[in-house]
């Protein structure tokens, strides 16, 4: 009885009460058989919980009777279809608006328990919800049907563990890839969608009410269509009126739809991690990375981009769209040339240059910095950390030599491009045709509007959505179970640090102290943010987005006067990611679901999956970006990691396109260290009896298969090509094979011998943690 698939109403106390009921009656892990056979859910109507059951719920009649507050509707076979062997199930499938379902005769909805009379039918009809379809992963957490036993594990472990899955899985037309991460992203989005659909809070002065309003604004297609390009016009008018360069600089805001040559971030000061500082560096490009402008393999994409720029300028009614587009793309190509490569951006030692505004002015005199800072409400700030110093100088020069008309057209295009998702369909279609189809190979835009709403709410009001999400989907038991895994992985690193042969005593003592300072935040932060004072209107989406962006930026500016806040998460609980910041390892609740963590899975599988994620994050504070090493140890670390970089550089995921070993190095080191630590943690927690139990696979094999399963990923070639150019994580198959081929335990588990394709002689294997 672990996970409770509840839909929370707006207050935590009610969902907490529901959780207590849920603990008793509901089945375990989230997920659903793809057939949609077993689904159930709970939602609240006003203050009363209602449970909907469809087919084979795993509750007994006694369970139901014992909870007089529950209303149970059966859509088919209650009470005879109870089944005890359902391992994973969840949420609810409404394929019709609820009102209609409830009225429909053939379903003959049976009210099993009625506590008090109230009318569900009085509610507004719900829009159709889609089933949450996280696939079930076998009986012990791993799905062996995805394997290809005809491949020898030592020849290609990825194909051995995942080959059948790769063959039979198709990438959905509106996705760039399919696999556990995209499945989990979709699951989390659907969970949030269900919350958004069922939130009834209409108060304008509560954060839940604001979430509700923004959701309604995003979903109100007819108001958005009616408004057409109108919402954009007042911002475009500001660009049209620009008469000099200082005006352009003032427009380049970090918090609006405007584009900026320079990125401004308010983040912790690396050298004084207890406080925030303004970081200034090169800005984003219109295309996802600089290679797309500069590398011959992307010539076609660049040509299509120019057509897209022209199309957007036409929709924005900007004069001479074609000619302006040519100038814009030429300008951006020069920006790309001036910009640092991804490899250099990852090196913290190169990207910390603190200075005053006067010093910045001296360093890069061709840009009106005071006007730029004023646009972002930072006039009073006189301490800056310049990250990409040399590119900042070049970009300032470029700004000084670019015609004003080009700068204005560039602003108009970038503003329209950024605002397009909140404008009428003609803008959205044009954006999809380039960004979705031409750039990433997507065949179709999302068939529904709500995924965009979920992304927007996560980005702009993520804290409140997270609060609602945790109340509905993250029970205390799951938090405790994953915390126990995290504790054992940290213990594994502690023992490791005491024994590592390549580390000298000074670095060793420093690393142990560093480890003592590391804290894990599991599932959700201790405090939630407030959006008090924000006024939203469900008829004005574009304005609402601007209002919230402004609010969030001003909030960040206000933090400059405060101490670093560990509860201010970069990604909120409903997002399936994990990350490390300032000695905090952060695992949002959304990440702690199958296949990364499954309460019913064998421990070996959980350690291979979520254990690896925890180990991966745990190694980041110890990677080569800090200055805590003795020079000799840093050198030894560099030698080892250079050998790993060489191994990855030799991999060729697309014909002729290799992995960038340097770009991906830190993440590859974290993958290898993470899996090694998870393995050590697993072995120390494994009992002798459990180890001896005979199943289809040994416990060690299960561990590596657990990791292989979370690496099951299939990606469109266009998207993969883009990713190889700039993404710091290696593609999934390399994250698997590149790691296990360095681990002696893997050779032993699968009896891998010389002559097999992945075999590396022991001396050449890399071990860091």
Identity of the residue, 617 or 702, whose beta carbon is nearer to Zn ion in the bound complex = 617
Kindly state the helix (H) or strand (E) to which residue 384 belongs, with its residue range: strand 384-386
Interacting span for Zn ion (CB under 5 A) from 163-171, 282-290, 308-316, 660-668: 660-668
Identity of the residue, 324 or 619, whose beta carbon is nearer to Zn ion in the bound complex = 619
Identity of the residue, 19 or 735, whose beta carbon is nearer to Zn ion in the bound complex = 735
Report in angstroms how near the CB of residue 356 gets to Zn ion at its nearest: 34
CB-facing half-sphere around the CA of 445: CA atoms within 13 A: 16
Handedness of CA 279, 521, 5, 206 (dihedral sign): negative
Identity of the residue, 132 or 614, whose beta carbon is nearer to Zn ion in the bound complex = 614
Alpha carbon distance 704, 722 (integer Å): 29
Report in angstroms how near the CB of residue 620 gets to Zn ion at its nearest: 6
Alpha carbon distance 670, 620 (integer Å): 6
DSSP string spanning 470-523? Answer: HHHH--HHHHHHHHHHHHHHHHHHHHHHHH-TTS-HHHHHHHHHHHHT-EEEEE
Identity of the residue, 453 or 672, whose beta carbon is nearer to Zn ion in the bound complex = 672
Check if the beta carbon of residue 226 is closer than 8 Å to that of residue 399: no
Pairing between β-strand 353-355 and β-strand 272-282 as defined by DSSP bridges: unpaired
Distance of CA 487 to the CA centre of its chain: 24
Report in angstroms how near the CB of residue 667 gets to Zn ion at its nearest: 5
Report in angstroms how near the CB of residue 71 gets to Zn ion at its nearest: 46
Report in angstroms how near the CB of residue 623 gets to Zn ion at its nearest: 9
Is 586 a binding residue for Zn ion by CB under 5 A? The answer is no
Report in angstroms how near the CB of residue 579 gets to Zn ion at its nearest: 7
Report in angstroms how near the CB of residue 670 gets to Zn ion at its nearest: 5
Interacting span for Zn ion (CB under 5 A) from 80-88, 146-154, 667-675, 713-721: 667-675
Tokens for 400, please give them.
């000084």
Among 430, 592, 670, 740, binds Zn ion (CB under 5 A): 670
Report in angstroms how near the CB of residue 552 gets to Zn ion at its nearest: 25
Q: How many residues bind Zn ion (CB under 5 A)?
A: 2
Omega before 26 within 30 of 0, i.e. cis: no
Identity of the residue, 387 or 664, whose beta carbon is nearer to Zn ion in the bound complex = 664
Check if the beta carbon of residue 567 is closer than 8 Å to that of residue 664: no
Omega before 567 within 30 of 0, i.e. cis: no
Alpha carbon distance 622, 500 (integer Å): 13
Residues 258-317 that bind Zn ion (CB under 5 A): none
268 phi and psi angles, rounded to 5 deg: -65, 145
Report in angstroms how near the CB of residue 617 gets to Zn ion at its nearest: 7
Check if the beta carbon of residue 760 is closer than 8 Å to that of residue 741: yes
Identity of the residue, 28 or 615, whose beta carbon is nearer to Zn ion in the bound complex = 615
Interacting span for Zn ion (CB under 5 A) from 27-35, 535-543, 668-676, 756-764: 668-676
Interacting span for Zn ion (CB under 5 A) from 46-54, 347-355, 461-469, 666-674: 666-674
CA dihedral 650, 656, 659, 663 (to 10 degrees): 120
Residues 352-381 that bind Zn ion (CB under 5 A): none
Residue 34 burial (C-beta neighbours within 10 Å; 0-12, 13-18, 19+): exposed
Identity of the residue, 537 or 580, whose beta carbon is nearer to Zn ion in the bound complex = 580
Interacting span for Zn ion (CB under 5 A) from 314-322, 539-547, 565-573, 662-670: 662-670
Residue with the CB atom nearest Zn ion in the bound state: 670
Report in angstroms how near the CB of residue 289 gets to Zn ion at its nearest: 19
Residue 218 DSSP label: H
Which residues of this protein are in contact with Zn ion, per CB under 5 A? 667, 670
């Amino acid at each position: 009885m672990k996970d409770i698939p509840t839909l929370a109403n707006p207050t935590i106390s009610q969902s907490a009460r529901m959780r207590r009921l849920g603990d008793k009656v509901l089945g375990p892990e989230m997920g659903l058989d793809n057939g949609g056979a077993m689904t159930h859910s709970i939602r609240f109507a006003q203050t009363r919980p209602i449970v909907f059951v469809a087919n084979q719920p795993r509750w007994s009649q006694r369970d139901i009777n014992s909870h007089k507050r529950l209303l149970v509707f059966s859509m088919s076979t209650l009470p005879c279809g109870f089944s005890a062997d359902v391992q994973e199930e969840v949420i609810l499938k409404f394929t019709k608006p609820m009102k209609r379902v409830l009225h429909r005769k053939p379903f003959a909805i049976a009210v099993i328990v009625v506590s008090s009379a109230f009318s569900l039918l009085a509610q507004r009809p719900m829009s159709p919800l889609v089933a949450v379809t996280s696939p079930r992963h076998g009986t012990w957490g791993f799905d062996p049907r995805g394997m290809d036993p005809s491949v020898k594990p030592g020849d290609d472990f990825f194909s051995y563990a995942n080959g059948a899955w790769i063959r039979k899985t198709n990438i959905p037309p509106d996705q760039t890839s399919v696999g556990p991460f995209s499945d989990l992203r979709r699951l989390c989005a659907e969970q949030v969608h269900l919350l958004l659909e069922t939130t009834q809070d209409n108060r304008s002065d509560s954060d839940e009410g604001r979430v509700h309003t923004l959701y309604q604004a995003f979903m109100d297609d007819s108001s958005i269509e009616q408004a057409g390009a109108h919402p954009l016009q007042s911002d475009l008018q500001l660009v049209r009126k620009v008469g000099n360069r200082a005006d352009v600089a003032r427009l380049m805001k970090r918090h609006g739809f405007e584009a900026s040559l320079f990125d401004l971030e308010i983040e912790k000061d690396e050298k004084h991690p207890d406080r925030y500082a303004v970081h200034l560096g090169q800005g984003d490009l219109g295309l996802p990375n600089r290679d797309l402008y500069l590398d011959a393999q992307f010539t076609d994409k660049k040509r299509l981009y120019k057509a897209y720029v022209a199309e957007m300028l036409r929709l924005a009614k900007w004069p001479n769209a074609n000619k302006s587009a040519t100038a814009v793309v030429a300008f951006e190509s020069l920006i790309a040339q001036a910009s640092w490569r991804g490899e250099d951006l990852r090196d913290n030692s190169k990207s910390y240059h603190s200075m005053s505004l006067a010093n910045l002015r001296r360093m890069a005199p061709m840009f009106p910095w005071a006007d730029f800072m004023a646009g972002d409400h930072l006039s009073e700030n006189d301490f800056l950390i310049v990250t990409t110093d040399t590119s900042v100088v070049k970009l300032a020069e470029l700004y000084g030599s670019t015609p004003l008309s080009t700068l204005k057209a560039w602003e108009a295009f970038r503003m329209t491009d950024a605002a397009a998702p909140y404008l009428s369909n003609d803008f959205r279609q044009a954006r999809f045709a380039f960004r979705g189809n031409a750039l990433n190979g997507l065949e179709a835009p999302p068939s529904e509007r709500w995924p965009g709403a979920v992304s927007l709410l996560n980005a702009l009001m993520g804290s409140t959505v997270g609060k609602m999400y945790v109340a509905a989907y993250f029970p205390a038991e799951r938090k405790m179970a994953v915390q126990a895994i995290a504790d054992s992985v940290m213990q594994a690193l502690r023992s490791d640090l005491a024994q590592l042969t390549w580390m000298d005593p000074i670095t060793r003592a420093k690393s142990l102290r560093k480890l003592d300072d590391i804290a894990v935040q599991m599932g959700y932060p201790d405090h939630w943010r407030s959006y008090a004072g924000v006024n939203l209107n469900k008829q004005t989406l574009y304005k609402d987005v601007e209002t919230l962006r402004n609010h969030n930026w001003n909030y960040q500016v206000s933090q400059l006067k405060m101490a670093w806040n560990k509860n201010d998460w970069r990604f909120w609980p409903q997002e399936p990611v994990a990350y490390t910041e300032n000695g905090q390892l952060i695992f949002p609740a959304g990440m702690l679901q199958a296949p990364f963590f499954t309460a019913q899975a064998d421990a070996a599988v959980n350690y291979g999956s979520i254990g690896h994620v925890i180990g991966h994050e745990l190694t980041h504070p110890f990677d080569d970006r800090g200055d805590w090493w003795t020079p000799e140890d840093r050198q030894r670390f560099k030698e080892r990691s250079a050998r790993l970089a060489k191994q990855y550089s030799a991999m060729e995921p697309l014909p002729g396109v290799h992995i960038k070993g340097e770009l991906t190095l830190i993440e590859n080191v974290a993958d290898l260290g993470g899996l090694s630590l998870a393995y050590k943690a697993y072995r120390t927690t494994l009992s002798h009896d459990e180890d001896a139990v005979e199943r289809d696979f040994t416990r060690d094999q299960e561990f590596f298969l657990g990791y292989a399963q979370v690496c099951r990923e299939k990606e469109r070639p266009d998207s993969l090509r883009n990713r190889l150019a700039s993404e710091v994580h290696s593609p999934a198959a390399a994250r698997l094979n590149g790691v296990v081929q360095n681990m002696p335990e893997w050779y032993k588990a699968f009896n891998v011998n010389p002559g097999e394709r992945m075999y590396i002689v022991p001396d050449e294997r890399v071990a860091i943690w």
